[in-house]
Chains A and B, each alone.
Chain A
């Protein structure tokens, strides 16, 4: 099955609460939302961010065609404590978009992306 990077299937925004970063992942086409629900699981996101976060929670927002992920322990203490450039987790969103998922060929054909993307 073709593998496609999430950047071609979803957009995202992230923010922080203490040492937890959140990433809201939003389907670019409502028809792709079930695919995100099935493939972008809590376990797969935890694997994607291994070594960077201490735990992951996932919530579904079918009304917004969005998933919300909480990435615990992601910010080196968070807020003012953190030494990280991204102390407030503003771009964890784009780090999640690096993940690749398996997409059925019938859908993959409908996803606009550059060759090899």
Chain B
């Protein structure tokens, strides 16, 4: 008897990823699960803002038309979906998917689960009053410093509610702030019946989740090594994990798709956003990335094994977003000859005008695109014959009026500053509200009793 394999496929690596990817994953070959990660650090605050304008919103709305495209195939093939597309409103998201299922004639054929309990915004004052400081993990400041500016607050949940939803027969599991890796761990623990305190299995599933959570970034997208040799990126194959009961797994992609799965593509993804590799902490356990063994096991197949882990901690991470201030960024393009010198002169003139107007900012940042915007002082000497240089200047501050006035000081430079300037077709730069991120920790026991899994029948 051949060993049982569970296939978890990545469909979206972030909110805004390639919309064809999940469709291809469902159509182009066998998969058991489609996992779609939508949430980044500040995504929740954007969703909170949308929900405050309309209580029907607050989730990744792309998810619904996407489900409309793939639900018939998913229902026919028995593929299950795990996604944190629910954002700050998993219920509205689940109900919208249910509507779509009914419209497609799938009533009674698709069970949709929604996971809630991660949103602690309504409980924040109670938690603070009971002595939870929710200090910024980076700066140590207590949350009370910015309490009146908090826009969203969500605890990171692990795999447990996903495992429960699957056990109760859900085919589509929609969550709020569940970790990216939990979306892969949940299916593996459900399918293999692993014990949640089998820390090596937790670590293995966590590494599997980390490898596929950014979509094609582990299968040839954004791959630096031999990038010219990566073929077929017009139709990139998103990564698929083929997991076994012993905790080892293969990373692969559907045959006939573009991109590549090799040691380089998987290793680059493993080190992406890495902190201390000995302890990659999730709500479900702690993975040791220095234990990972990789081996090429055929074309576009990388075997991953040997992963060790340690017990979960008694804290959960909380992602808090708060209103910080305002910013704006303006650009102008200066042409040869002496493009860089002209751009620098324009920067000096603009800064003098801001000063003369008495405008104060927390930060004014100038970059010269084509000269030093990405590598700063490491960029080397500017090319005196550069065909063009883009002046990019940004300001940030608490005073909206000052930032607003800055946006009106860019265009005048076209007729009152250095010559050979263009590239102002976009008009005045926009004043943007800055929403900042505040990471904190909270006792697990404050969150887990509040987590709810509800199953809706379409």
Contact = CB atoms under 8 A, between A and B. Distances in A.
Interface in B211-270: 222, 224-225, 264, 267-270
A83 B271 CA distance: 25
Most chain A beta carbons < 10 A, residue from B270, B327, B395? B270
Most chain B beta carbons < 10 A, residue from A22, A60, A84? A84
A83 B374 contact: no
A95 interface: yes
A110 interface: no
A32 to B, nearest CB: 13
Given A79-B437, A83-B396, A98-B375, A68 B271 contact: yes
Given A59-B277, A83-B327, A18 B437 contact: yes
Given A81-B324, A81-B396, A98-B375, A22 B293 contact: no
Interface stretch (B15-23, B74-82, B362-370): B362-370
B17 to A, nearest CB: 15
Contact of A61 (B138, B277, B395): B277
B269 A80 contact: no
Secondary structure dominating the interface of A: mixed
A11 B270 CA distance: 13
Contacts of A76: 363, 365
A18 B324 CA distance: 14
A16 B273 contact: yes
B365 A63 contact: no
B230 to A, nearest CB: 13
Nearest to B363: A83
B25 to A, nearest CB: 23
A83 B274 contact: no
B41 A11 contact: no
A52 B275 contact: no
Contacts, number: 122
A107 interface: no
B434 interface: yes
Interface in B312-367: 324, 327, 329, 363, 365, 367
A114 to B, nearest CB: 15
Contacts of A11: 224-225, 264, 268
Nearest to A91: B374
B270 A28 contact: no
A56 interface: no
Interface string A80-115: 110111100001011100100000000000000000
Contact of A22 (B42, B264, B274, B394): B274
Contacts of B264: 11, 26
B224 A24 contact: no
Interface string B77-120: 00000000000000000000000000000000000000000000
Interface residues of A, number: 41
B272 interface: yes
Contacts of B377: 51-52
B439 A18 contact: yes
30 contacts: A11-B268, A13-B222, A13-B224, A13-B268, A14-B272, A15-B273, A17-B273, A17-B275, A24-B272, A52-B376, A52-B377, A52-B378, A61-B277, A63-B290, A63-B294, A64-B289, A64-B292, A64-B294, A66-B270, A66-B271, A79-B41, A80-B436, A80-B437, A83-B327, A83-B329, A83-B363, A83-B395, A85-B367, A95-B375, A98-B378
Q: Please name the 4 residue pairs, one residue from A and one from B, whose CB atoms are nearest each other, closest first.
A: A24-B271, A15-B273, A83-B394, A83-B365
Interface of B: 41-42, 138, 222, 224-225, 264, 267-278, 289-294, 324, 327, 329, 363, 365, 367, 369, 373-378, 392, 394-396, 434-437, 439
